[in-house]
């Protein structure tokens, strides 16, 4: 299984999107398997699907380090290319950590958690999450607390998301570097017209 799947439609374009899927316990083989990868494909945007390593007990560390090394090497080899990062759910959590780096022009995190402590108390996914994440893993709340948010970050979250309760976003301090879109009545992963609305919001942010 390839960890990295590239879709380059315009070789001369100096903008590339990177997408981190949710999960984390699976991999994406192609764009058809994910609605947000499908959005990028249909828009004919240059994008790269990244399958991060799955390591129980070291989540938030080994996957983040793998991605960090890849992103910095890509930036080194493509100095004039604008990089934008998207992620959903657990992939959105990982994406939000890169707000501390100076790699991306913008980060868009869909249905992503920002507080590990809150997730472990109130998320419907808390049983596996506590075992999966490293005790040393950071989160976006910590970045805010330590004033380490350096990249414009947009969050999209549903008010009825039991996997990622939106209340954790209310604890974040006000900062101009990030924006939170709470969608009334939306759940973790929508379909039909509601999914289309989420996609429209993402397109506005691209």
Instruction: Provide the whole-model pTM.
Output: 0.97
Mean residue pLDDT of the chain comes to 96
Phi and psi torsions of 56, nearest 5°: -60, 135
Of 66, 16, 10, 24, the C-alpha closest to 163 is 24
- Check whether 2 has a pLDDT greater than 90: no
Cα distance between residue 47 and residue 206, in whole Å: 12
Of 66, 94, 70, the C-alpha closest to 83 is 70
Q: Which two tokens stand for residue 194?
A: 């509601």
| Strand pairing report for 178-183 and 153-158 | parallel
Residue-wise pLDDT for 99-146, tens only, equals 999 999 999 999 999 999 999 999 999 999 999 999 999 999 999 999
Q: Which two tokens stand for residue 79?
A: 């100095």
CA atoms lying within 13 Å on the CB side of residue 177: 19
Residue-wise pLDDT for 49-104, tens only, equals 999 999 999 999 999 999 999 999 999 999 999 999 999 999 999 999 999 999 99
């Amino acid at each position: 299984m390839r960890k990295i799947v590239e879709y380059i439609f315009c070789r001369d374009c100096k903008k590339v999107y990177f997408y981190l899927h949710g999960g984390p316990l699976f991999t994406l083989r192609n764009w058809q398997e994910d609605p947000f990868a499908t959005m990028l494909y249909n828009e004919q945007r240059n994008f790269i699907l990244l399958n991060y390593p799955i390591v129980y007990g070291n989540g938030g560390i080994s996957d983040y380090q793998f991605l960090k090394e890849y992103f910095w090497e890509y930036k080194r080899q493509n100095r004039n290319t604008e990089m934008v990062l998207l992620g959903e759910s657990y992939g959105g959590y990982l994406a939000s950590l890169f707000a501390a780096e100076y790699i991306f022009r913008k980060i868009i995190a869909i249905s992503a958690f920002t507080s590990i402590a809150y997730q472990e108390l109130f998320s419907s996914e808390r049983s596996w999450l506590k075992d999966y994440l490293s005790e040393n893993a950071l989160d976006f709340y910590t970045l805010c607390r330590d004033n380490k948010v350096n990249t414009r970050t947009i969050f999209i979250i549903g008010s009825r998301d039991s996997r990622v309760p939106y209340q954790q976003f209310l604890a974040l301090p006000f900062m101009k570097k990030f924006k939170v879109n709470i969608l009334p009545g939306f759940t973790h992963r929508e379909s039909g017209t509601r999914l289309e609305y989420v996609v429209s919001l993402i397109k506005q942010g691209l």
